[in-house]
Amino acid sequence: MSVTVMTHTTNRVAIITGASSGIGKATAEALAEDGLIVVLSARRAKKLDALADRIESNGGDALVVPADVTNDDDLVSLVETVKDEFGRIDVLVNAAGFGLFGSVEETSIDEARYQFDVNMFGLARLTQLVIPVMREQHSGTIVNISSMGGKVWTPMGAWYHATKHALEGWSDCLRYELAPHGIDVVVVEPGAINTEWGDIMVDGLLERSGDGPYAEMAQDVADASRENSSDGSDPEVIATAISNAVRADDPKNRYVAGRYAKPMIALRRFGGDRVYDRVVDYMV
């Protein structure tokens, strides 16, 4: 169900993609607790309805607008719906995404393109649509969920890491462009988080590369990924970081949170490629 909220509200309004599960869901709950009206968006409408009911039962306000971030018509409709309903957009949290893992040789270019469509181009298109609203307000916060994988790498994840490294540079340029218009751009770099992301990633990895010339490496990566995911931080850790960024008058450019994120990023930065490579060999 969609929760009807008064038009022309003075409350801040946040659009959250990928809100049906994981980090997106936890973020929606956190921002609703902070008093924002949350617009819940994802492909899975039933899960969004359940989340909206939960938020409403806790005294918050939510609006469900299902959308596929790879469908331009969906994204246009999402933004137009929010503008018509509230007349403003104060926060955009780009949390939709997935991890495409498998050897470069065995991963089709069509799959790689779809990885970029979800993790980069869909995010970029929705951001383009939201910017004019925030620019007219001369205020707003755009939160892009990257990963520690935007600064480091893991075996068999070439296409996933390519999207996150791209997102990091894209966000830096966007931050500089939008600063004169009163719009903040924030990058969040989660570490290992205990969500369904890891299981989906491992299933795809083994489907692509579980047999053949990279089978041993794929199995090692799958085993390590399962262990790290089950031992990961709760999504609420990332939701708290996002809440802090959204509430800050002058948010940091980057927020790093979640298990392994800070030490792995520091290791790559200060130890260099050779040291980092040895650690990856040990972990996998």
* Residues forming the active site: 160
Q: Is 70 exposed, middle or buried (0-12, 13-18, 19+ CB in 10 A)?
A: middle
What distance in Å separates the CA atoms of residue 185 and residue 211, rounded to the nearest whole number? 42
Give the burial string for 29-54 (b: 16+ CB within 10 Å, else e).
bbbbebebbbbbbbbebebbbebbee
Q: What is the dihedral angle through the alpha carbons of 235, 24, 95, 110, rounded to the nearest 10 degrees? A: 100
Pairing of strands 91-94, 13-17: parallel
Give residue for tokens 């994981």: 22
